[in-house]
Amino acid sequence: MSTITKIALGKNGPLVSKLGLGCMRMSSVWGGPAQDESESIATIRMALDSGINFLNTGDFYGSGHNELLVGKAIKDRRDEAFVSVKFGAIFHGGHWLGLDLRPIAIKNFINYSLVRLGIETIDLYQPCRLDNSVPVEDVIGTVADLIKEGKVRHLGVSEITAEQLRKAHNTYPVSALEIGYSLADRQIETDLLPTAKELGIGVVAFANTAEGLLTGEMKAPLAANAYQNHFPRFQGENLINNLEKVEVLKKMAKEKGYTPTQLAIAWVSAQGDTIMPLVSMSRRSRLPENIRAMEISFTPEEMNALNTNFSPGAIVGNTYLQR
C-alpha cells in the first residue's frame, strides 16, 4: 500500500496528509448502531501507518463516544496524529436540537473533548456550523482565546458562507474550511471556494460520493429505510435522472480500472493542492481502495467529460448540503 503525500493546511499551515480520515461513522450517528470498536481502532492505526495523519471527529458524534475511540487509537501515537474536532451541535435521543455557540459553552466543550481524547491540545478546533445566535466574532474569538491558552493549535470552520468565512478570518486566521464537495455538489465553486483560495485557507472536503450517489452501487428506487429518501435528490424522477449521470462516471471508472468511488475521491483531490478529500470509513478493508484513489490522474479530455456531465445543476434535487 502506498503512503500519502503531505500538504500544508492553509497558508503557512501545518503539514497534513492529502487524504483525511473521517471517524464519524465509527460511532452511533442519528440513532444508528456503532461499529465494532476494535475494528475501528485498528482502522485508525492502519491509516496512521499509511501516512494518513488527519483524523476528523466531533464532540457530538455518539455523544462523546467517537472522541473516546480516537483517544484509544492514538494513545502512545499522539505525535503521528493531527486531530480535528468539531463542536457546537446539540443532540438528544438521536435528534438534532440546534447549536450552542456561546463562549461559556465552548469553554466547557473543549475541556470534555481533551479528557475524552486523552490529549493536552487539539490540533484543529472548529464550530460545526455558524448561525445568527452568537456573533461570529464571539465564536471565533473564544477559539482564539483557547489557542492562546494552549488548548488548541489551529482554528477551523465548517459549513459556512463566504461572508462568514471572511468575518471569521478577519477575527483570527482560519487554517481550514470543512465543507461538502463532490462532482454532484459544486455550489461552493461560486464564491466559497474562491474566497478560501484568496485568503489562503485549506479546504477539507467531505461527502465526496454525495451520500452514495457516486458510488455506482445505488439503484432506483431506494430501500424504504434508506436515510437518503428524506432528500429530493433521491426521490422519484430526480433519482432516475441523477443515476443516468452517474453512468458516465461508471464507464470511465471501468475504462481506467478503478471504482466510481475512487474516481469521485480523485476528482475532489484534483481540484487543488490545498483541497483534502475527507473520507469516512470504519473498516481496514476500505483503506487500500481509498488510498489508491489518490494515485489517479485525469487527462484533460477526461476532466472535461466529468466537468461537463456533472456541471453545476446537472444533479437535480437538494440534499442537506444545500441548506
- Rounded to 10 degrees, the C-alpha dihedral 131/95/21/316 comes to -70
Q: Assess whether 320 carries a catalytic annotation.
A: no
Q: How far apart are CA 232 and CA 165, in angstroms?
A: 28
How, if at all, do strands 15-17 and 6-8 pair? antiparallel
How far CA 12 is from CA of 35, 64, 319, in Å, comes to 37, 32, 34
CB 97 within 8 A of CB 128: no
| 8-state DSSP, 184 | T
Catalytic residue among 61, 125, 181, 258: 61
Angle, alpha carbons 84-88-93 (nearest 5°): 110
Q: Of 180, 206, 183, which is closest to residue 192 (Cα–Cα)? A: 180
Active site residues: 61
